Chain A
Amino acid sequence: MSATEPTAAAGVDGRPRSVEALTELLSRGPVVTVSSLTKRYGDVVAVDGVTFSLDPGTVTGYLGPNGAGKTTTLRMLLGLAEPTSGEAFVFGRPYRELEQPIRRVGAVLESNDFHPARSGRDHLRALALAAGLPLSRVEEVLKLVELSGAATRRVRTYSLGMRQRLGLAAALLGDPQLLILDEPANGLDPAGVRWLRTFLQTFAAQGRSVLVSSHLLAEVAQTVDQVLIIDHGRLLASGRLDELTSGGQTLEDVYLELTTGEAS
């Protein structure tokens, strides 16, 4: 990961890696490249010149207060919103120009993007059909998120945890190398949070990458290996979690110091 934005915390990235690691990374290229990304809504600058890139195999927490610009960044990265200026690439190209995007990137932006009267299975089938994926893949992802037993039920009967898992199932349909999740742990009970954490760790252990936005810092600290901290649309810090917190500070200390100016 590299960042050209001002970085407040010590020990931020940019340190040399081993030659083997570099060679490996260069051959695969970054999974996400965001440069000078800006989004304006009238006078409001939601995202203000954000620059970062993510290497394959990393789990990155994208942190910031509500309204900091996290979701807007992710929407631009996924081709749902058009940047005012700057670039947001996944696998070296704009999302919209990827050949079969969901075979490379899986994303969940909202926890409840379902028609309440449609069954979980039909929700996934409609997406699989549009993506040209075999319907057997629907059964595989249902099993993966432990929803096979509820597949024929209408989504309106699902609990929040089940909806989160159905959203993940949709993101996993294409067996992607990169997972992008916006506030996935919001509203989950402890069992749901643990399930999600285990899931993400398993996903990352396969050498795949995750970009997850959140403001549940304690949860993030257990799951990610690097963080980006954003507030008022600007990237305030980025780097490896162990380096950001190397001065004996917790992630919460670093985060609050940056986003509220409150010294710990």
Chain B
Amino acid sequence: MIGQLRAELLKQRSTQTTLLLFLSMFGLVALAVTLHVLALSADQLSTRTHQLEVFQVGSRAGMLFAGLAGAIAITAEIRYGTIRPTFLVTPRRGPVLAAKLAVSGLVGLVFGLLAEAMMAADAAVAFAVRGIDNQLSGGDYLQLLGGGAGAAALWAAAGVGVGALVRNQVGAVVGLCVWMFLVESTSESFVPGFGRLLPGGAGLALAGNSDDVSAVVGALLLALYAAAASAAGWRATLRRDVA
């Protein structure tokens, strides 16, 4: 199993995919935070609750890009055919998936941490420029970093599951983006209270961006989604033929 983990880590390091994902995340967070802070009126940014809502950008970006990293970890192998030599070496396939879940979880954790840190730094500068008092406490920041990293790690595991189920790389990537940006945000408009129970909403609760649901409930919900998605992807991968 150590060998499998080292193999997966090497796969992550030996292409530029992870770096490109990170740079995209960086760009997205910087842009979104700047737009939010500049576009909202000072009143809309004055309270702690408002400011935590703006900080959703970092948490969402961390979760989404962690999910993409997880999905790409498996779909890139299918897309480029390396899944064949991979499964020739490990024909029972389970250890490959376990290593992908572990390594993607780690990558997701780092993505979550970095997204929240970038978010905090960016917002601090933007608040200072506009002369808005930062209302967040040290505890808020701790929860953003810890909870955001945990939420991203769980999204990465879910991403591996989604990727293993969908198999098509473009389909999995587009699907995750549409889910995060469209389904999660619009569902709230149609069924109030429902969005906060979805994987993205649960992650926001875990990171402390919203207190509609407690962090513990958010963590449990998100862990459940991640377990369900990776179990489904695992099962499909063990049963399906490799083309």
A in complex with B: yes
Binding site for B on A (CB under 8 A): 75, 78-82, 95-96, 98, 101-102, 105, 107, 109-110, 112-119, 122-123, 125-127, 129-132, 170
CA distance A8 to B80 in the complex (A): 40
- Which residue on A lies nearest to B92, using beta carbons? A96
Q: Is B49 an interface residue (CB 8 A)?
A: no
- B81–A113 contact, CB under 8 A? yes
Q: Report if A126-B88 is in contact (Cβ < 8 Å); known contacts: A112-B81, A116-B80.
A: no
Q: Report if A110-B15 is in contact (Cβ < 8 Å); known contacts: A80-B87, A96-B91, A102-B89.
A: no
Chain A residues positioned under 8 Å from B87 (CB to CB): 79-80
CA distance A102 to B113 in the complex (A): 39
The residue in B16, B86, B88, B90 that gathers the most chain A C-beta atoms within 10 A of its C-beta is B88
**19 extra interchain contacts, Cβ-Cβ under 8 A, other than A101-B91, A109-B84, A170-B85?**
A75-B241, A79-B87, A79-B88, A80-B91, A96-B91, A102-B88, A110-B81, A113-B81, A117-B15, A118-B15, A122-B14, A126-B7, A126-B10, A127-B89, A129-B4, A129-B7, A130-B4, A130-B86, A130-B96
Within 8 A of A (CB), among B1-41: 3-4, 6-8, 10-11, 14-17
CA distance A170 to B85 in the complex (A): 8
From A95, A116, A123, A129, contact of B3 by CB (8 A): A129
Q: Report if A131-B15 is in contact (Cβ < 8 Å); known contacts: A80-B242, A110-B84, A113-B84.
A: no
Q: How far is the CB of B61 from chain A (nearest CB, A)?
A: 24
Q: How far is the CB of A24 from chain B (nearest CB, A)?
A: 29
Chain B residues positioned under 8 Å from A119 (CB to CB): 14
- A82–B14 contact, CB under 8 A? no
Binding site for A on B (CB under 8 A): 3-4, 6-8, 10-11, 14-17, 76, 80-82, 84-92, 96, 241-242
Q: How far is the CB of B72 from chain A (nearest CB, A)?
A: 11
- A130–B88 contact, CB under 8 A? no
Chain A residues positioned under 8 Å from B91 (CB to CB): 78-80, 95-96, 98, 101
CA distance A105 to B242 in the complex (A): 18
The residue in A80, A82, A119 that gathers the most chain B C-beta atoms within 10 A of its C-beta is A80
- B242–A75 contact, CB under 8 A? yes
Q: Report if A127-B242 is in contact (Cβ < 8 Å); known contacts: A96-B92, A117-B17.
A: no
Q: How far is the CB of A130 from chain B (nearest CB, A)?
A: 4
- B15–A113 contact, CB under 8 A? no
Chain A residues positioned under 8 Å from B92 (CB to CB): 96
Q: How far is the CB of B242 from chain A (nearest CB, A)?
A: 4
Q: How far is the CB of B167 from chain A (nearest CB, A)?
A: 14
Q: Report if A80-B84 is in contact (Cβ < 8 Å); known contacts: A122-B14, A126-B7.
A: yes
Main secondary structure of the interface of B (DSSP, over half): helix
Q: How far is the CB of B239 from chain A (nearest CB, A)?
A: 8
> Can you identify 9 A-B contacts, CB atoms within 8 angstroms?
A75-B242, A101-B91, A107-B88, A110-B84, A113-B81, A115-B11, A115-B80, A116-B80, A117-B16
From B10, B15, B81, B85, contact of A125 by CB (8 A): B10
- A127–B7 contact, CB under 8 A? yes
- A129–B10 contact, CB under 8 A? yes
- Which residue on A lies nearest to B13, using beta carbons? A122
- Which residue on B lies nearest to A119, using beta carbons? B14
CA distance A75 to B3 in the complex (A): 25
Q: How far is the CB of A45 from chain B (nearest CB, A)?
A: 15
- B88–A122 contact, CB under 8 A? no
Chain B residues positioned under 8 Å from A130 (CB to CB): 3-4, 7, 86, 89-90, 96
The residue in B14, B90, B242 that gathers the most chain A C-beta atoms within 10 A of its C-beta is B14
CA distance A132 to B5 in the complex (A): 11
CA distance A95 to B84 in the complex (A): 14
Q: How far is the CB of B230 from chain A (nearest CB, A)?
A: 20
- B10–A122 contact, CB under 8 A? yes
- A80–B241 contact, CB under 8 A? yes
Chain B residues positioned under 8 Å from A170 (CB to CB): 85
CA distance A122 to B84 in the complex (A): 16
- B241–A82 contact, CB under 8 A? yes
The residue in A117, A118, A132 that gathers the most chain B C-beta atoms within 10 A of its C-beta is A118
User: Can you list the 4 inter-chain pairs with the closest CB atoms, starting with the nearest?
Assistant: A113-B81, A122-B14, A81-B241, A130-B7
Q: Report if A78-B88 is in contact (Cβ < 8 Å); known contacts: A112-B81, A113-B82, A118-B15.
A: yes
Chain A residues positioned under 8 Å from B242 (CB to CB): 75, 80-81
- A101–B88 contact, CB under 8 A? yes
CA distance A153 to B91 in the complex (A): 28
CA distance A130 to B3 in the complex (A): 5
